[in-house]
Chain A
Amino acid sequence: MADDTSGPDPNSGSNGSLNGGADLPEGFPHASQLKQAGITSLADLHDLESLEDLAGIGPAYARDIQNALEESDVGAPAAEAANGASPEAATTEKRPSPLSEEESEAPVGGAATQQTTDIPEGPLEETVTYETYPADTYGHEEIGFADEEVLDLLRNMLLQRRFENRCRQMYQRQKISGFLHLYIGQEAVSTGSVNAIDLGEDSVITAYRDHGMGLAMGITPEEGMAELFGKEAGCSSGKGGSMHFFDAEKKMMGGHAIVGAHLPLGAGLAFAHKYRGDDNVCLCFFGDGAMHQGAFREACNLAGIYELPIVFVCENNQYAMGTAVDRAFSKPDLFKHGYNFDFPASLASGMDVFSVNKAVQDHVENYARNDQPSLLEVRTYRYQGHSITDPAEYRGEGELDQRQSQDAINRLQDYILERDLATEADMEGIDEAVKQRVKDAIDAANEASFPDEEAIYDDIYTQDDYPFIA
């Protein structure tokens, strides 16, 4: 770095310091948050009086950073320190196989097999640990949210719910056609996750139940509703519909409608982050049903061998269409499928936005930003049928009521009251404003224009007058 004669850009952070201490070592925990707060070197960290005063650094992060800093002071590699010090670390290390020779006689070079055919005496035993993130475990401060941000979380979850309640109604009024898969009940997953990443830089890809994720990422209710109405002003110009919400600017890389087919795309998004060295990650969401597809296995394996910065997030909402998860899996604890790829894997409650947020923070910071793919299962529940036409008669008696009693929005409202962050009236006001926003979006979608008929030929190829389009 010091011999770079082109001259470091003093504003560019990582190349800025010549003496004053090294840059943050590779793998230093929460480096991207630190960079956002203007901290680019160990020296900057030493100069700080209190880590917790930094914007975006909560106590949990501060603890990780402090530990890593202390380790780096005695010369230990920061990446190891970060993993070792994190109380949440699950199975972070590649498990050495007793069937691999540690010192192979095969020529070194990486291409030759290191595996032995000398089979040791059995039985072979190993211990695996999986972290969990139960509901009602985390307070907002400790995972880095200011008081007013908790109300933003509530507002965002309410927006998804009110938007989708109205979608239902608009479908019945035949304003919306095609398939309509509602996310109601799962809002803590989208809101919790999106608030754990660097929005617009990190990429997110999801399946066809995508309205909630889109709204959480900043697709406006106007853009979303217009898309569902098939209007040109929609987030995909009226060419995608319910299952294909996209927003390039936010790096919302799509709702994808073939079950499992977008998991390899997620691996590719992560591949590009790593190839460019941009320190960003991919969150790849999919349902429990997608895990049956070969694409899941292939994407995980490729992510593993190429060490891609990706978190595979299984939103287990209990049913793949009408098939209950425990009816369809020989191993229904879905997080344990991460074992097959040597992934750190954990299980979070999807009925508490803080649990989801904490889990995704850990998976992003501890693993993905260190080029270690991981698997997070989030247990959640969809209140509606698979699609709008599904009466969901496969549910058990009382099942829906029981699950709704754990509702994530109610839980957050209770938390807000308990912690005196707002009054009932304040929250009522938020809800009313959200409802009005959705109503305005419907009015706008009603008034918006359908695409010109010529648009059927647009955006097939980059060159818009391509010769065989006519």
Chain B
Amino acid sequence: MATLEFRTALREAMSEEMERDDDIFLIGEEVAEYDGAYKVSEGMLDRFGHDRVIDSPISELGFAGLGIGAAMNGLRPIVEFMTFNFSFVAFDQVINNAPNMRYMSGGQFEVPIVFRGPNGAAGQLGATHSNSTEALYSNIPGLKVVSPSVPDDGKGLLKTAIRDDDPVVFLESELMYGMKREVSEESDYTIPIGSARVAREGSDVTIVAHSKSYHIAMDAAEALGEQGYEAEVIDPRTIKPLDIETIVESVVKTNRLVVIDESTPFTSVASEITHQVQDRAFDYLDAPILRVTPPDTPAPYAPNLMDAYMPGVDETVDKCLRVLYAE
């Protein structure tokens, strides 16, 4: 195992795939000369040249669509959004063109493309720069949505996403790019899309959480452990397809579920998990499923408001204690 920053793990994934397949290229704002707005693509211009690491002007609709057209014509683009807040400018391309092309052409065209970049709030950036997009994109048939929480998953899943013949929305996190963790040094390390990871075993309550929220879940599990409750933590890693079997298996064991999700609560990822679990494991539940999400408001700026807005460890512990009837 090597200890790598998240950004380095992602860069290794892209670089290894680009070495393997000449049809892969990277396009986005500041990915080349600037070395990446968050340095994910640092050094890739020198390594692969201007033909394959391509700076785009501030033109998300244009370069997202260009990527889709290139994919229809045989290439495998990686499209970087500087943040997924800006993917809304390209919404039509991402939700109407990429995922529908295969279907409405009767299977004649594939769109093997990865849209990647940081997703979710990243501090006091205000409402326009703090969107969590996983619930929006997961609502679209034809898209796959991946959202890793640790560098090792980031590398293995990004390599798989790049090889996937369907459009993949790959959600990273600004706040996690500098996180250093162990990453497999296995050559050609891939992780299948659609498989959850049981990150911590426990028998009292299940906590499901992805991306940054996963780390909240792990901290909450530690705190619960100090109170004598063993939480099982599941990181779905992929939002769509969702590995519901692994989640249900855990709920059958613990009979209690708390879902942390950075999406705002109405029609969120947490809503969907809640629905699927009650559908499949209603008789196993000993308590209502609770969610830890931001309030149904835009993201604020003031530090105290932002603290209140984001899902946190204390709130997660509280909700776990509630489903454990331990308050």
Contacts and interface: CB of A to CB of B under 8 A. Distances in A.
A22 B61 CA distance: 43
Contacts of B84: none
B163 to A, nearest CB: 11
Q: Give 6 closest A-B pairs by Cβ, nearest first.
A: A268-B69, A264-B65, A237-B106, A298-B62, A272-B73, A265-B69
Contacts of A262: 65, 97
29 contacts: A110-B33, A240-B104, A240-B105, A248-B105, A254-B105, A264-B61, A264-B62, A265-B66, A265-B69, A267-B62, A267-B69, A268-B66, A268-B72, A268-B73, A268-B77, A271-B70, A271-B73, A271-B75, A272-B73, A276-B74, A294-B61, A298-B61, A460-B102, A461-B144, A462-B102, A462-B164, A462-B166, A467-B241, A468-B242
A269 B194 CA distance: 30
B137 interface: no
Contact of A269 (B63, B72, B77): B72
B108 interface: yes
Interface in B207-221: none
Could you say which of A248, A265, A302, A460 has the most chain B C-beta atoms within 10 Å of its C-beta? Answer: A265
Given A240-B106, A268-B71, A299 B241 contact: no
B92 interface: yes
Given A268-B71, A301-B62, 9 more contacts: A239-B106, A261-B96, A263-B65, A268-B70, A275-B70, A295-B62, A302-B57, A462-B110, A466-B241
Interface in B100-126: 101-110
Contacts of B74: 272, 276
A273 interface: yes
B206 interface: no
Contacts, number: 150
Contacts of A254: 101, 105, 109
Interface in B229-271: 240-242
A203 interface: yes
Interface string A337-359: 00000000000000000000000
B49 interface: no
Nearest to B98: A265
A272 B73 CA distance: 6
A305 interface: yes
Contacts of A295: 61-62, 65
Interface string B147-179: 000000000000000001110000000000000
A236 interface: yes
A302 B59 contact: yes
